[in-house]
Amino acid sequence: MKKIVIIGGSRGIGNAILQQQLEKHLVYNISRTIPDFSHPNLIHFSVDVLQDELPDIEIIDALVYCPGSINLKPILSLSIDDFRNDFEINVIGAVKVIQHFLPALKKGKNPSIVLFSTVAAKLGMPFHSSIAASKSGVEGLTKSLGAELAPLVRINAIAPTITETSLSASILRNDRMKENMMERHPMKNYLKPQEVARMADYLISEDAASISGQIFPMDYGLVSFKL
C-alpha cells in the first residue's frame, strides 16, 4: 500500500485522483475543503497551502499537486495581482509543497511527483496570458527538478485541455457550449476528470519508472493536429 499525498483532492481532477487511489492506497488529502465522503484509507488535513503550515508526514511514496486556476481575460483587463495570484497558486504553492515533503518523499519507495500544466503553455490562445505564464513556470520547474532529483525522485507534469470540472463550469455551462468545445478538438471531445486521473495513476506507478522531467499533453489532438 502506497502513501500518497494529494494537494487539492476535494474537487475536480484532484478528487478523481483521490477516489481512484483510495481502494489500494493510503491517501492524505490536503485542501481547504473537506471531501464530501469518507473512507478508511483517507486522512484529510484542512489546510490552505499558500497561507498555513503544512502537516508533517514521515514517509510519502507519491505527491500530486492539483490546485489550478482558469483566469481568462484580455491582457488589458488583467491586473498585476491577477498574474501574481495565478503564479502563487500554480508555481509557488507547488514549490512550497515540494520543499516541505521532499525529505519524506526521499524515504518512500520509488517516489514520484505529479504536477499540472495546461495545453495553453504550448498553444497560443487568446485571453490565456496569465494562466499560460504560470503554467509555463510549472513546466520549467518539472524539467529542472527532474534533473536535480534524479535518480531518487521522479517528477512529471500533465498538461490537459479543458476538463469537465467545477472550475470550467462557466465555459461548459450549456449543451451548445459543450458541443462547440468538442468541435474545437480534432478528436471531437474534451476531458473528463477520470481520464486525467488514470494518467496520474500511471505516472506514479512502477510502470513509469523510466519517466521523469516530462510534460504529458492530454488534448484530444488540439495541440498536435490541424485537420
| 10-residue averages of pLDDT along the chain (227 residues) | 96 95 97 93 97 97 93 95 97 98 98 97 94 97 98 98 80 85 86 96 97 96 85
What is the model's pLDDT at position 171?
Answer: 79
pLDDT for the residue numbered 109: 96
Question: Which residue pairs, CB below 8 angstroms and at least 24 apart, start in 183-190?
Answer: 184/222, 185/161, 185/219, 185/220, 185/221, 185/222, 186/220, 186/221, 186/222, 186/225, 186/226, 186/227, 187/220, 187/221, 187/225, 188/220, 189/220, 190/161, 190/162, 190/163, 190/164, 190/220
Q: What is the DSSP letter of 53?
A: P
Report whether 68 contacts 34 (CB < 8 A): no
Greatest Cα pair distance in the chain: 50
Asked, as a colleague might, if the bond just before 103 is cis with ω within 30 of 0, I would say: no
**pTM listed for this prediction:** 0.94
CATH class for the domain made up of 3-165+192-218: alpha beta
**Would you state the cell numbers that stand for residue 114, as one nine-digit string?**
505529479
